[in-house]
Chains A and B, each alone.
Chain A
Amino acid sequence: KAGVTQTPRYLIKTRGQQVTLSCSPISGHRSVSWYQQTPGQGLQFLFEYFSETQRNKGNFPGRFSGRQFSNSRSEMNVSTLELGDSALYLCASSGQGSGETQYFGPGTRLLVL
Chain B
Amino acid sequence: DQQVKQNSPSLSVQEGRISILNCDYTNSMFDYFLWYKKYPAEGPTFLISISSIKDKNEDGRFTVFLNKSAKHLSLHIVPSQPGDSAVYFCAASGVSNYQLIWGAGTKLIIKP
Contact = CB atoms under 8 A, between A and B. Distances in A.
A107 B10 CA distance: 23
Interface stretch (A12-20, A62-70, A71-79, A92-100): A92-100
A26 to B, nearest CB: 12
A11 interface: no
B99 A56 contact: yes
B11 interface: no
Contacts of A43: 44, 89, 102
A21 interface: no
A107 B100 CA distance: 18
Contact of B98 (A4, A41, A98): A98
A101 B34 contact: yes
Interface residues of B, number: 23
B73 to A, nearest CB: 15
A90 B32 CA distance: 22
A101 B36 CA distance: 10
A42 interface: yes
A102 B104 contact: no
Nearest to B40: A88
Given A33-B99, A42-B104, A45-B99, A99 B43 contact: no
Interface of A: 4, 31, 33, 41-43, 45, 48, 50, 55-56, 88, 90-92, 97-99, 101-107, 109
Interface of B: 31-32, 34, 36, 41-46, 49, 89, 93-95, 97-100, 102-105
